[in-house]
Structure 1
Amino acid sequence: MDTIFTRGPSLNNRLTLALVLSVLLIFVDHKLDGFKSTRVYLNSLMSPLQYLANLPGLMLSESAQRLTSQEDLLAENQKLNNQLLLMSEKLQQFNVLAKENNQLRELLQAPVRTEARKMVAELMAVDKNPYSQQVVINKGAIDGVYLSQPVIDNEGIVGQVMEVGSTNSRVLLIADVTHAIPVRSLRNDIRFIATGSGTLNELYLEHVPHSVDIQVGDTLISSGLGNVFPEGYPVAEVTRVIRDESRPFARVIVSPLANLDRLRHLLLLWNSKDAENEDNTQEKNTTNTDEENDA
Protein backbone atom coordinates (compact mmCIF):
# COMPACT_ATOMS: atom_id res chain seq x y z
CA MET A 1 0.00 0.00 0.00
CA ASP A 2 1.37 3.44 -0.96
CA THR A 3 1.70 6.06 1.73
CA ILE A 4 1.71 9.84 1.46
CA PHE A 5 5.44 9.91 2.23
CA THR A 6 6.34 8.15 -1.05
CA ARG A 7 4.62 10.71 -3.25
CA GLY A 8 6.33 13.72 -4.85
CA PRO A 9 9.43 14.29 -7.01
CA SER A 10 12.22 11.76 -7.01
CA LEU A 11 15.43 12.26 -5.05
CA ASN A 12 17.38 13.06 -8.24
CA ASN A 13 14.89 15.77 -9.20
CA ARG A 14 15.02 17.24 -5.70
CA LEU A 15 18.84 17.27 -5.77
CA THR A 16 18.87 18.96 -9.19
CA LEU A 17 16.36 21.57 -8.04
CA ALA A 18 18.42 22.28 -4.89
CA LEU A 19 21.63 22.68 -6.92
CA VAL A 20 19.97 25.05 -9.40
CA LEU A 21 18.52 27.18 -6.59
CA SER A 22 21.90 27.25 -4.81
CA VAL A 23 23.74 28.42 -7.93
CA LEU A 24 21.06 31.03 -8.59
CA LEU A 25 21.28 32.39 -5.04
CA ILE A 26 25.10 32.51 -5.20
CA PHE A 27 24.96 34.43 -8.50
CA VAL A 28 22.39 36.94 -7.19
CA ASP A 29 24.39 37.50 -4.00
CA HIS A 30 27.83 37.76 -5.65
CA LYS A 31 27.02 39.68 -8.85
CA LEU A 32 23.94 41.67 -7.95
CA ASP A 33 24.58 42.04 -4.18
CA GLY A 34 20.94 41.20 -3.61
CA PHE A 35 21.29 39.99 0.00
CA LYS A 36 23.36 42.85 1.43
CA SER A 37 20.53 44.17 3.61
CA THR A 38 19.61 40.62 4.61
CA ARG A 39 23.15 39.99 5.87
CA VAL A 40 23.04 43.19 7.91
CA TYR A 41 19.76 42.11 9.54
CA LEU A 42 21.08 38.60 10.24
CA ASN A 43 24.29 40.05 11.67
CA SER A 44 22.28 42.30 13.97
CA LEU A 45 20.09 39.33 14.94
CA MET A 46 23.11 37.22 15.87
CA SER A 47 24.82 39.91 17.96
CA PRO A 48 22.87 39.09 21.19
CA LEU A 49 23.94 35.44 20.84
CA GLN A 50 27.56 36.52 20.43
CA TYR A 51 27.31 38.61 23.59
CA LEU A 52 25.85 35.61 25.44
CA ALA A 53 28.62 33.34 24.09
CA ASN A 54 31.27 35.77 25.37
CA LEU A 55 29.63 36.10 28.78
CA PRO A 56 31.17 32.95 30.37
CA GLY A 57 34.64 34.00 29.22
CA LEU A 58 34.18 37.48 30.65
CA MET A 59 32.96 36.04 33.96
CA LEU A 60 35.96 33.68 34.16
CA SER A 61 38.33 36.52 33.29
CA GLU A 62 36.91 38.73 36.02
CA SER A 63 37.05 35.86 38.54
CA ALA A 64 40.70 35.19 37.67
CA GLN A 65 41.56 38.85 38.04
CA ARG A 66 39.97 38.93 41.48
CA LEU A 67 42.01 35.91 42.55
CA THR A 68 45.30 37.55 41.55
CA SER A 69 47.63 37.88 44.50
CA GLN A 70 48.43 41.25 46.04
CA GLU A 71 52.14 40.84 45.25
CA ASP A 72 51.41 40.41 41.55
CA LEU A 73 49.20 43.49 41.60
CA LEU A 74 51.88 45.56 43.32
CA ALA A 75 54.54 44.39 40.82
CA GLU A 76 52.26 45.13 37.88
CA ASN A 77 51.40 48.53 39.34
CA GLN A 78 55.09 49.40 39.66
CA LYS A 79 55.74 48.27 36.09
CA LEU A 80 52.86 50.38 34.79
CA ASN A 81 54.07 53.41 36.73
CA ASN A 82 57.52 53.04 35.18
CA GLN A 83 56.00 52.75 31.71
CA LEU A 84 53.81 55.79 32.38
CA LEU A 85 56.87 57.82 33.37
CA LEU A 86 58.71 56.83 30.19
CA MET A 87 55.68 57.58 28.01
CA SER A 88 55.23 60.95 29.69
CA GLU A 89 58.79 61.86 28.75
CA LYS A 90 58.18 60.81 25.13
CA LEU A 91 54.89 62.72 25.09
CA GLN A 92 56.67 65.90 26.11
CA GLN A 93 59.06 65.52 23.17
CA PHE A 94 56.18 64.67 20.87
CA ASN A 95 54.27 67.83 21.79
CA VAL A 96 57.33 69.96 20.99
CA LEU A 97 57.87 68.18 17.67
CA ALA A 98 54.18 68.51 16.78
CA LYS A 99 54.27 72.26 17.35
CA GLU A 100 57.43 72.60 15.27
CA ASN A 101 55.88 70.50 12.50
CA ASN A 102 52.75 72.68 12.43
CA GLN A 103 54.88 75.83 12.27
CA LEU A 104 56.90 74.43 9.36
CA ARG A 105 53.71 73.46 7.52
CA GLU A 106 52.36 76.96 7.97
CA LEU A 107 55.59 78.43 6.59
CA LEU A 108 55.43 76.08 3.59
CA GLN A 109 51.67 76.74 3.22
CA ALA A 110 51.01 73.02 3.61
CA PRO A 111 47.76 71.83 5.20
CA VAL A 112 48.01 71.06 8.91
CA ARG A 113 46.80 67.60 9.86
CA THR A 114 43.77 67.68 12.12
CA GLU A 115 43.23 65.29 15.00
CA ALA A 116 41.04 62.40 13.85
CA ARG A 117 38.21 60.90 15.88
CA LYS A 118 38.94 57.58 17.61
CA MET A 119 36.91 54.94 19.45
CA VAL A 120 37.95 51.89 21.48
CA ALA A 121 36.35 48.57 20.52
CA GLU A 122 36.61 45.09 22.03
CA LEU A 123 37.03 41.76 20.28
CA MET A 124 33.91 39.58 20.35
CA ALA A 125 34.67 36.61 18.11
CA VAL A 126 37.27 35.20 15.70
CA ASP A 127 36.39 33.58 12.38
CA LYS A 128 37.21 29.87 12.61
CA ASN A 129 37.57 29.48 8.84
CA PRO A 130 41.28 28.61 8.28
CA TYR A 131 41.24 30.35 4.88
CA SER A 132 39.85 33.63 6.19
CA GLN A 133 41.36 36.05 8.73
CA GLN A 134 38.44 38.01 10.18
CA VAL A 135 37.27 39.09 13.63
CA VAL A 136 34.09 40.58 15.08
CA ILE A 137 34.11 43.69 17.29
CA ASN A 138 31.43 45.12 19.58
CA LYS A 139 30.88 48.41 17.71
CA GLY A 140 28.44 48.93 14.87
CA ALA A 141 26.32 51.37 12.92
CA ILE A 142 24.83 52.97 16.04
CA ASP A 143 28.39 53.93 17.03
CA GLY A 144 29.13 55.49 13.64
CA VAL A 145 31.21 52.61 12.25
CA TYR A 146 31.39 52.55 8.44
CA LEU A 147 32.69 50.26 5.70
CA SER A 148 36.46 50.24 5.04
CA GLN A 149 37.11 52.03 8.34
CA PRO A 150 40.72 51.51 9.51
CA VAL A 151 41.34 49.53 12.70
CA ILE A 152 44.59 49.52 14.73
CA ASP A 153 45.92 48.16 18.02
CA ASN A 154 48.69 49.43 20.29
CA GLU A 155 51.40 48.26 17.85
CA GLY A 156 50.12 49.01 14.35
CA ILE A 157 47.42 48.57 11.72
CA VAL A 158 45.14 45.56 12.19
CA GLY A 159 42.78 45.77 9.22
CA GLN A 160 39.60 47.44 8.00
CA VAL A 161 35.86 47.05 8.57
CA MET A 162 34.22 44.89 5.90
CA GLU A 163 30.69 44.43 7.31
CA VAL A 164 28.69 46.70 9.62
CA GLY A 165 25.78 45.56 11.78
CA SER A 166 23.70 47.53 14.24
CA THR A 167 25.77 46.69 17.33
CA ASN A 168 28.81 44.85 15.94
CA SER A 169 31.06 44.80 12.89
CA ARG A 170 33.31 42.37 11.05
CA VAL A 171 36.96 43.35 10.51
CA LEU A 172 39.13 41.99 7.68
CA LEU A 173 42.71 41.56 8.97
CA ILE A 174 45.72 42.65 6.90
CA ALA A 175 46.88 39.00 6.95
CA ASP A 176 43.88 37.84 4.89
CA VAL A 177 44.76 36.72 1.35
CA THR A 178 42.21 39.15 -0.12
CA HIS A 179 43.65 42.19 1.68
CA ALA A 180 46.27 44.62 0.36
CA ILE A 181 47.61 47.83 1.86
CA PRO A 182 49.91 50.47 0.32
CA VAL A 183 53.00 51.03 2.47
CA ARG A 184 56.33 52.83 2.33
CA SER A 185 59.71 52.21 3.90
CA LEU A 186 60.47 54.42 6.87
CA ARG A 187 64.18 54.36 5.95
CA ASN A 188 64.05 55.54 2.33
CA ASP A 189 60.35 56.26 1.52
CA ILE A 190 60.15 53.60 -1.23
CA ARG A 191 56.53 52.53 -1.75
CA PHE A 192 55.25 48.93 -1.87
CA ILE A 193 52.01 46.95 -1.74
CA ALA A 194 51.75 44.51 1.19
CA THR A 195 49.31 41.63 0.71
CA GLY A 196 48.13 39.01 3.14
CA SER A 197 49.46 35.46 3.06
CA GLY A 198 46.59 33.78 4.91
CA THR A 199 48.69 33.34 8.07
CA LEU A 200 48.80 35.82 10.94
CA ASN A 201 52.57 36.25 11.07
CA GLU A 202 53.42 36.89 7.41
CA LEU A 203 52.73 39.39 4.64
CA TYR A 204 54.18 39.61 1.15
CA LEU A 205 55.43 42.60 -0.83
CA GLU A 206 54.19 42.46 -4.40
CA HIS A 207 56.33 43.02 -7.53
CA VAL A 208 59.57 44.18 -5.88
CA PRO A 209 62.42 44.54 -8.42
CA HIS A 210 65.79 43.02 -7.53
CA SER A 211 67.45 46.45 -7.64
CA VAL A 212 65.19 48.04 -5.00
CA ASP A 213 66.94 49.09 -1.79
CA ILE A 214 65.12 47.03 0.85
CA GLN A 215 66.77 45.31 3.81
CA VAL A 216 65.85 42.98 6.64
CA GLY A 217 64.74 45.04 9.61
CA ASP A 218 63.20 47.89 7.57
CA THR A 219 59.99 49.24 9.09
CA LEU A 220 57.02 49.72 6.77
CA ILE A 221 54.34 52.31 7.52
CA SER A 222 51.08 53.18 5.79
CA SER A 223 51.60 55.52 2.84
CA GLY A 224 48.11 57.03 2.89
CA LEU A 225 47.45 56.09 -0.75
CA GLY A 226 44.03 54.65 -1.48
CA ASN A 227 42.27 56.92 1.03
CA VAL A 228 41.55 54.01 3.39
CA PHE A 229 44.39 53.93 5.93
CA PRO A 230 45.80 57.21 7.27
CA GLU A 231 49.45 57.93 6.61
CA GLY A 232 52.22 57.16 9.08
CA TYR A 233 50.90 54.16 11.06
CA PRO A 234 53.22 51.13 11.52
CA VAL A 235 52.30 48.10 9.42
CA ALA A 236 55.11 45.54 9.26
CA GLU A 237 58.83 44.81 9.50
CA VAL A 238 60.90 43.14 6.77
CA THR A 239 62.03 39.66 7.88
CA ARG A 240 63.32 38.02 4.66
CA VAL A 241 64.54 39.25 1.27
CA ILE A 242 65.15 36.53 -1.34
CA ARG A 243 66.74 37.75 -4.58
CA ASP A 244 66.56 34.87 -7.05
CA GLU A 245 67.71 36.11 -10.47
CA SER A 246 65.74 33.33 -12.16
CA ARG A 247 62.54 35.06 -11.03
CA PRO A 248 61.34 38.43 -12.36
CA PHE A 249 60.88 39.91 -8.87
CA ALA A 250 62.44 39.52 -5.46
CA ARG A 251 60.51 37.64 -2.80
CA VAL A 252 60.07 39.87 0.26
CA ILE A 253 58.41 38.54 3.41
CA VAL A 254 57.40 40.91 6.19
CA SER A 255 55.93 40.39 9.64
CA PRO A 256 52.93 42.44 10.86
CA LEU A 257 53.69 44.67 13.83
CA ALA A 258 50.14 44.40 15.19
CA ASN A 259 49.45 41.50 17.55
CA LEU A 260 47.01 39.77 15.20
CA ASP A 261 47.03 36.54 17.24
CA ARG A 262 46.46 38.30 20.59
CA LEU A 263 43.85 40.93 19.77
CA ARG A 264 41.57 42.12 22.55
CA HIS A 265 41.12 45.90 22.51
CA LEU A 266 41.18 47.73 19.18
CA LEU A 267 40.99 51.35 18.08
CA LEU A 268 38.68 52.55 15.31
CA LEU A 269 39.94 55.56 13.34
CA TRP A 270 37.82 58.11 11.52
CA ASN A 271 38.92 59.95 8.41
CA SER A 272 39.56 63.62 9.16
CA LYS A 273 37.02 64.60 6.49
CA ASP A 274 34.38 62.36 8.04
CA ALA A 275 35.13 63.83 11.47
CA GLU A 276 34.79 67.37 10.11
CA ASN A 277 31.50 66.50 8.41
CA GLU A 278 30.21 64.96 11.63
CA ASP A 279 31.25 68.03 13.63
CA ASN A 280 29.55 70.31 11.09
CA THR A 281 26.40 68.20 11.30
CA GLN A 282 26.41 68.35 15.08
CA GLU A 283 26.93 72.15 15.00
CA LYS A 284 24.11 72.50 12.48
CA ASN A 285 21.79 70.40 14.62
CA THR A 286 22.73 72.45 17.69
CA THR A 287 22.06 75.70 15.81
CA ASN A 288 18.69 74.47 14.60
CA THR A 289 17.78 73.41 18.14
CA ASP A 290 18.76 76.82 19.51
CA GLU A 291 16.70 78.59 16.83
CA GLU A 292 13.68 76.40 17.63
CA ASN A 293 14.04 77.18 21.33
CA ASP A 294 14.29 80.91 20.60
CA ALA A 295 11.17 80.72 18.46
Structure 2
Amino acid sequence: MNPIFKHGPSPQHRLALVLLLSALFIFFDHKLASFETLRGYLQSIVSPMQYLANTPKQVMRWTTENLVSRTELLTENQALKMNELRYQEQIMQLDIIKQENQRLRSLLSSPLRSDIKKMVAEILSVDSDPYTHQILINRGANDGVYEGQPVIDDQGIVGQVLLVGTTTSRVILITDVTHAVPVRIKRNGIRLVASGSGRIDRITHAHVPHSADIQSGDVLVTSGLGGKYPEGYPVSTVSIVLKDESRPFARVRSTPIAKIDRLRYLLLLWPEKPASMFAPKAVKEQQ
Protein backbone atom coordinates (compact mmCIF):
# COMPACT_ATOMS: atom_id res chain seq x y z
CA MET A 1 0.00 0.00 0.00
CA ASN A 2 1.41 3.39 -0.95
CA PRO A 3 1.44 6.11 1.73
CA ILE A 4 -1.05 8.94 1.27
CA PHE A 5 1.42 11.66 2.20
CA LYS A 6 4.80 11.63 0.55
CA HIS A 7 5.71 15.22 1.37
CA GLY A 8 8.26 16.12 4.11
CA PRO A 9 12.02 16.13 4.73
CA SER A 10 14.00 13.06 3.97
CA PRO A 11 15.44 10.86 6.76
CA GLN A 12 18.91 12.22 6.14
CA HIS A 13 17.70 15.76 6.64
CA ARG A 14 15.85 14.76 9.76
CA LEU A 15 18.96 13.11 11.20
CA ALA A 16 21.05 16.13 10.45
CA LEU A 17 18.47 18.38 12.11
CA VAL A 18 18.38 16.21 15.25
CA LEU A 19 22.16 16.16 15.51
CA LEU A 20 22.31 19.93 15.12
CA LEU A 21 19.68 20.50 17.78
CA SER A 22 21.43 18.10 20.12
CA ALA A 23 24.73 19.89 19.68
CA LEU A 24 23.04 23.22 20.37
CA PHE A 25 21.33 21.90 23.50
CA ILE A 26 24.62 20.47 24.79
CA PHE A 27 26.42 23.74 24.13
CA PHE A 28 23.82 25.91 25.83
CA ASP A 29 23.50 23.52 28.77
CA HIS A 30 27.23 23.23 29.29
CA LYS A 31 28.14 26.88 28.80
CA LEU A 32 25.05 28.73 29.97
CA ALA A 33 23.37 26.12 32.31
CA SER A 34 20.11 26.92 30.62
CA PHE A 35 18.34 23.64 31.46
CA GLU A 36 19.09 23.32 35.21
CA THR A 37 15.56 24.31 36.19
CA LEU A 38 14.05 22.13 33.50
CA ARG A 39 16.20 19.23 34.58
CA GLY A 40 14.95 19.61 38.17
CA TYR A 41 11.34 19.52 36.99
CA LEU A 42 12.01 16.49 34.85
CA GLN A 43 13.76 14.75 37.78
CA SER A 44 10.74 15.43 39.99
CA ILE A 45 8.49 13.97 37.33
CA VAL A 46 10.66 10.88 36.85
CA SER A 47 11.34 10.19 40.55
CA PRO A 48 7.94 8.55 41.28
CA MET A 49 8.45 6.33 38.28
CA GLN A 50 11.88 5.36 39.57
CA TYR A 51 10.42 4.51 42.99
CA LEU A 52 7.65 2.55 41.33
CA ALA A 53 10.13 0.67 39.17
CA ASN A 54 12.28 -0.09 42.24
CA THR A 55 9.32 -1.29 44.34
CA PRO A 56 9.35 -4.95 43.18
CA LYS A 57 13.04 -5.20 44.03
CA GLN A 58 12.43 -3.73 47.50
CA VAL A 59 9.47 -6.03 48.07
CA MET A 60 11.52 -9.06 47.06
CA ARG A 61 14.38 -8.01 49.33
CA TRP A 62 12.05 -7.39 52.28
CA THR A 63 10.29 -10.73 51.73
CA THR A 64 13.58 -12.59 51.46
CA GLU A 65 14.99 -10.95 54.60
CA ASN A 66 11.83 -11.70 56.56
CA LEU A 67 11.68 -15.28 55.36
CA VAL A 68 15.34 -15.80 56.23
CA SER A 69 14.88 -14.09 59.60
CA ARG A 70 11.82 -16.21 60.38
CA THR A 71 13.64 -19.39 59.40
CA GLU A 72 16.60 -18.39 61.53
CA LEU A 73 14.30 -17.57 64.43
CA LEU A 74 12.52 -20.93 64.11
CA THR A 75 15.86 -22.75 63.96
CA GLU A 76 17.19 -20.79 66.93
CA ASN A 77 13.97 -21.38 68.86
CA GLN A 78 14.19 -25.11 68.20
CA ALA A 79 17.82 -25.15 69.30
CA LEU A 80 16.93 -23.26 72.47
CA LYS A 81 14.15 -25.75 73.23
CA MET A 82 16.54 -28.67 72.75
CA ASN A 83 19.10 -26.99 75.01
CA GLU A 84 16.42 -26.36 77.61
CA LEU A 85 15.43 -30.03 77.55
CA ARG A 86 19.05 -31.06 77.92
CA TYR A 87 19.55 -28.63 80.79
CA GLN A 88 16.38 -29.83 82.49
CA GLU A 89 17.56 -33.43 82.15
CA GLN A 90 20.94 -32.45 83.59
CA ILE A 91 19.22 -30.67 86.47
CA MET A 92 17.16 -33.81 87.21
CA GLN A 93 20.31 -35.92 87.07
CA LEU A 94 22.00 -33.47 89.42
CA ASP A 95 19.07 -33.69 91.85
CA ILE A 96 19.26 -37.49 91.74
CA ILE A 97 23.01 -37.40 92.39
CA LYS A 98 22.48 -34.98 95.28
CA GLN A 99 19.86 -37.27 96.79
CA GLU A 100 22.11 -40.30 96.39
CA ASN A 101 25.03 -38.42 97.94
CA GLN A 102 22.79 -37.44 100.83
CA ARG A 103 21.74 -41.07 101.33
CA LEU A 104 25.33 -42.26 101.22
CA ARG A 105 26.42 -39.57 103.66
CA SER A 106 23.62 -40.54 106.03
CA LEU A 107 24.51 -44.19 105.59
CA LEU A 108 28.21 -43.73 106.28
CA SER A 109 27.50 -41.48 109.26
CA SER A 110 25.40 -44.16 110.97
CA PRO A 111 26.73 -45.19 114.42
CA LEU A 112 29.34 -47.84 113.66
CA ARG A 113 32.04 -49.02 115.97
CA SER A 114 35.58 -48.63 114.75
CA ASP A 115 36.31 -52.36 115.05
CA ILE A 116 33.67 -53.25 112.45
CA LYS A 117 34.44 -53.28 108.75
CA LYS A 118 31.70 -51.95 106.49
CA MET A 119 30.85 -51.95 102.78
CA VAL A 120 28.19 -50.08 100.84
CA ALA A 121 25.82 -52.23 98.76
CA GLU A 122 23.04 -51.27 96.37
CA ILE A 123 19.71 -53.02 95.95
CA LEU A 124 19.25 -54.64 92.55
CA SER A 125 15.73 -56.01 92.97
CA VAL A 126 12.98 -56.62 95.49
CA ASP A 127 11.21 -59.97 95.81
CA SER A 128 7.71 -59.64 94.36
CA ASP A 129 6.28 -62.43 96.51
CA PRO A 130 4.04 -60.71 99.10
CA TYR A 131 4.68 -63.50 101.62
CA THR A 132 8.47 -63.15 101.64
CA HIS A 133 10.45 -60.00 102.33
CA GLN A 134 13.76 -60.45 100.54
CA ILE A 135 15.97 -58.26 98.36
CA LEU A 136 18.92 -58.79 96.03
CA ILE A 137 22.10 -56.72 96.47
CA ASN A 138 25.12 -56.18 94.22
CA ARG A 139 27.68 -57.75 96.57
CA GLY A 140 28.68 -61.40 96.72
CA ALA A 141 31.41 -63.88 97.56
CA ASN A 142 33.92 -61.89 95.50
CA ASP A 143 33.42 -59.04 97.98
CA GLY A 144 33.77 -61.29 101.04
CA VAL A 145 30.05 -61.47 101.82
CA TYR A 146 29.03 -64.46 103.96
CA GLU A 147 25.71 -66.03 104.99
CA GLY A 148 24.22 -64.56 108.13
CA GLN A 149 26.05 -61.25 107.67
CA PRO A 150 24.19 -58.30 109.24
CA VAL A 151 22.82 -55.59 106.96
CA ILE A 152 21.81 -52.08 108.06
CA ASP A 153 20.76 -48.75 106.58
CA ASP A 154 21.39 -45.27 107.99
CA GLN A 155 18.71 -45.79 110.65
CA GLY A 156 19.03 -49.33 111.93
CA ILE A 157 18.99 -53.07 111.28
CA VAL A 158 17.58 -54.15 107.90
CA GLY A 159 18.18 -57.90 107.92
CA GLN A 160 20.86 -60.46 107.22
CA VAL A 161 22.40 -62.19 104.21
CA LEU A 162 20.46 -65.35 103.38
CA LEU A 163 22.19 -66.64 100.24
CA VAL A 164 25.53 -65.67 98.73
CA GLY A 165 26.37 -65.77 95.03
CA THR A 166 29.54 -64.83 93.23
CA THR A 167 28.60 -61.20 92.59
CA THR A 168 25.17 -60.87 94.21
CA SER A 169 23.54 -61.90 97.48
CA ARG A 170 20.00 -62.31 98.77
CA VAL A 171 19.07 -60.54 101.99
CA ILE A 172 16.16 -61.49 104.23
CA LEU A 173 14.54 -58.50 105.92
CA ILE A 174 13.61 -58.29 109.59
CA THR A 175 9.93 -58.06 108.61
CA ASP A 176 9.94 -61.49 106.92
CA VAL A 177 7.77 -64.01 108.78
CA THR A 178 10.69 -66.46 109.02
CA HIS A 179 13.09 -63.95 110.53
CA ALA A 180 13.72 -63.27 114.22
CA VAL A 181 16.39 -61.29 116.05
CA PRO A 182 17.17 -61.09 119.79
CA VAL A 183 16.66 -57.53 121.05
CA ARG A 184 16.59 -55.65 124.33
CA ILE A 185 14.81 -52.53 125.50
CA LYS A 186 17.32 -49.72 125.39
CA ARG A 187 15.76 -48.04 128.43
CA ASN A 188 16.03 -50.92 130.89
CA GLY A 189 17.75 -53.84 129.15
CA ILE A 190 14.79 -56.28 129.16
CA ARG A 191 15.35 -58.90 126.46
CA LEU A 192 12.76 -59.76 123.80
CA VAL A 193 12.62 -61.50 120.44
CA ALA A 194 11.64 -59.41 117.41
CA SER A 195 9.86 -61.55 114.79
CA GLY A 196 8.75 -60.52 111.33
CA SER A 197 5.02 -60.29 110.70
CA GLY A 198 4.99 -60.23 106.89
CA ARG A 199 4.21 -56.49 106.94
CA ILE A 200 6.89 -53.88 106.35
CA ASP A 201 5.54 -51.67 109.14
CA ARG A 202 5.10 -54.26 111.88
CA ILE A 203 7.28 -56.48 114.06
CA THR A 204 5.76 -58.77 116.68
CA HIS A 205 7.12 -59.82 120.07
CA ALA A 206 5.87 -63.09 121.48
CA HIS A 207 5.95 -64.43 125.06
CA VAL A 208 6.20 -61.07 126.77
CA PRO A 209 5.07 -61.40 130.40
CA HIS A 210 2.52 -58.94 131.76
CA SER A 211 5.03 -57.87 134.38
CA ALA A 212 7.59 -56.76 131.83
CA ASP A 213 8.41 -53.05 132.01
CA ILE A 214 7.74 -52.14 128.41
CA GLN A 215 6.07 -48.98 127.14
CA SER A 216 4.95 -47.54 123.86
CA GLY A 217 7.82 -45.55 122.38
CA ASP A 218 10.58 -47.74 123.83
CA VAL A 219 13.49 -48.27 121.42
CA LEU A 220 14.56 -51.87 120.86
CA VAL A 221 18.19 -52.55 119.96
CA THR A 222 20.10 -55.71 119.14
CA SER A 223 21.17 -57.61 122.26
CA GLY A 224 24.17 -59.30 120.63
CA LEU A 225 22.88 -62.75 121.58
CA GLY A 226 23.03 -65.42 118.91
CA GLY A 227 26.15 -63.99 117.28
CA LYS A 228 24.37 -62.72 114.15
CA TYR A 229 24.01 -59.02 114.90
CA PRO A 230 26.44 -56.81 116.80
CA GLU A 231 25.06 -55.36 120.01
CA GLY A 232 23.39 -51.98 120.28
CA TYR A 233 22.03 -51.36 116.78
CA PRO A 234 18.47 -49.94 116.59
CA VAL A 235 15.83 -52.39 115.42
CA SER A 236 12.36 -50.98 116.10
CA THR A 237 10.22 -48.70 118.24
CA VAL A 238 7.40 -50.12 120.38
CA SER A 239 4.06 -49.00 118.99
CA ILE A 240 1.44 -51.14 120.82
CA VAL A 241 1.44 -52.69 124.28
CA LEU A 242 -1.77 -54.52 125.26
CA LYS A 243 -1.86 -56.29 128.60
CA ASP A 244 -4.99 -58.43 128.73
CA GLU A 245 -4.98 -60.53 131.90
CA SER A 246 -7.19 -63.10 130.16
CA ARG A 247 -4.23 -63.92 127.92
CA PRO A 248 -1.05 -65.60 129.13
CA PHE A 249 1.24 -62.96 127.58
CA ALA A 250 1.09 -59.30 126.72
CA ARG A 251 0.53 -58.29 123.12
CA VAL A 252 3.42 -56.19 121.91
CA ARG A 253 4.11 -54.75 118.47
CA SER A 254 6.80 -52.42 117.18
CA THR A 255 7.64 -50.49 114.02
CA PRO A 256 10.99 -51.02 112.24
CA ILE A 257 13.33 -48.08 112.49
CA ALA A 258 14.94 -48.89 109.13
CA LYS A 259 13.11 -47.56 106.10
CA ILE A 260 12.12 -50.98 104.77
CA ASP A 261 9.93 -49.62 101.97
CA ARG A 262 12.49 -47.03 100.78
CA LEU A 263 15.73 -48.97 100.77
CA ARG A 264 18.30 -48.13 98.09
CA TYR A 265 21.75 -48.31 99.65
CA LEU A 266 22.75 -50.61 102.50
CA LEU A 267 25.76 -51.30 104.66
CA LEU A 268 27.22 -54.75 105.13
CA LEU A 269 28.93 -55.20 108.48
CA TRP A 270 31.90 -57.38 109.34
CA PRO A 271 32.69 -58.02 112.99
CA GLU A 272 36.33 -58.66 113.90
CA LYS A 273 35.71 -62.22 112.67
CA PRO A 274 32.65 -63.57 110.84
CA ALA A 275 30.32 -65.76 112.84
CA SER A 276 31.26 -68.76 110.71
CA MET A 277 34.86 -68.34 111.84
CA PHE A 278 33.91 -68.43 115.51
CA ALA A 279 32.02 -71.71 115.28
CA PRO A 280 34.98 -74.07 114.65
CA LYS A 281 36.97 -72.41 117.41
CA ALA A 282 34.12 -72.81 119.87
CA VAL A 283 33.76 -76.47 118.98
CA LYS A 284 37.49 -76.99 119.39
CA GLU A 285 37.45 -75.33 122.81
CA GLN A 286 34.56 -77.54 123.92
CA GLN A 287 36.49 -80.63 122.83
TM-score over 0.5 for the pair: yes
1:126 aligns with 2:105: no
> Residue in 1 aligned with 2:211?
211
State the one-letter code of the partner of 1:270.
W
> How far, CA to CA, are the matches of 1:166 and 1:120 in structure 2?
17
User: 1:114–1:272: 8 Å Cα contact kept in structure 2?
Assistant: no
Per-residue displacement from partner, 1:189-222 (whole Å, max 9, x unpaired)? 1110000000100001120001100000000000
Partner of 1:58: none
1:251 matched residue in structure 2: 251
Query: Which position in structure 2 is the counterpart of 1:138?
Result: 138
- 2:90 maps to which of 66, 74, 81: 66
Aligned to 2:191: 191
1:243–1:138 CA distance, 2 compared to 1 (3 A) = same
* Aligned mates of 1:190, 1:65 — CA distance in 2: 52
How far 1:65 moved relative to its partner?
6.6
Q: Residue in 2 aligned with 1:232?
A: 232
Report the Cα distance in structure 2 between the residues aligned to 1:262 and 1:69, rounded to whole angstroms.
19
Q: Kindly provide the CA deviation profile for residues 27-53 of structure 1, in whole angstroms up to 9, marking residues without a partner as x.
A: xxxxxxxxxxxxxxxxxxxxxxxxxxx
The SS at the match of 2:261 is: coil
Using the TM superposition, give the Cα deviation of residue 273 of structure 1 relative to its aligned residue in structure 2, in angstroms: 2.0
Q: TM-score, normalised by structure 2?
A: 0.59
Cα distance change on mapping 1:69 and 1:222 into 2, 3 Å: closer
**In structure 2, what is the Cα distance between the partners aligned to 1:272 and 1:242?**
40
2: CA distance between counterparts of 1:173 and 1:181? 11
The CA distance in 1 between the partners of 2:232 and 2:167, in whole Å, is: 30
Structure 2 CA distance for aligned equivalents of residues 64 and 178 of structure 1: 46
The 3 A distance-change label for structure 1 pair 68 and 232 is same
Write out aligned runs for 1:42-57 (5 A). none
| C-alpha distance in 1 between matches for 2:89 and 2:218 | 38
The alpha carbon displacement at 1:247 in A equals: 0.7
The list of structure 1 runs, each at least 4 consecutive aligned residues, that deviate by more than 4 angstroms after superposition, is: none
Question: 1:69: how far off?
Answer: 9.5
TM-score, reference length from structure 1: 0.57
Contact 2:133 2:172 in 1 (8 A): yes
Deviations 1:72-107 (A, max 9, x none): 79xx79xx7xxx9xxxxx99xx9xxx9xxxxxxxxx
Aligned to 1:269: 269
Q: Which runs of 5+ in 1 are unaligned?
A: 1-62, 85-89, 99-112, 278-295
Aligned to 2:222: 222
Report the secondary structure of 1:267's partner residue. Answer: strand
| CA distance, structure 2, for counterparts of residue 185 and residue 251 of structure 1 | 16
* Matched residue count: 184
Aligned residue identity for 1:130:
P
**Partner Cα distance (1:274, 1:261) in 2:** 28
8 A contact 2:115–2:271 mirrored in 1 = no
What residue in structure 2 maps to residue 176 of structure 1? 176
| Closer/same/farther in 2, CA of residues 65 and 200 from structure 1, 3 Å limit | farther
Amino acid paired to 1:139: R
Distance in structure 2 (CA, Å) of the matches to 1:148 and 1:64: 44
Partner of 1:155: 155
Partner of 1:39: none
1:274 shift after superposition = 3.7
Whole-angstrom distance in 2 between the partners of 1:69 and 1:162: 34
CA gap 1:249/1:125 in 2 versus in 1, 3 angstroms: same
Query: Unpaired runs of 5+ in structure 2?
Result: 1-86, 278-287
Distance 1:230 1:250, change over 3 A: same
TM-align CA RMSD:
3.1
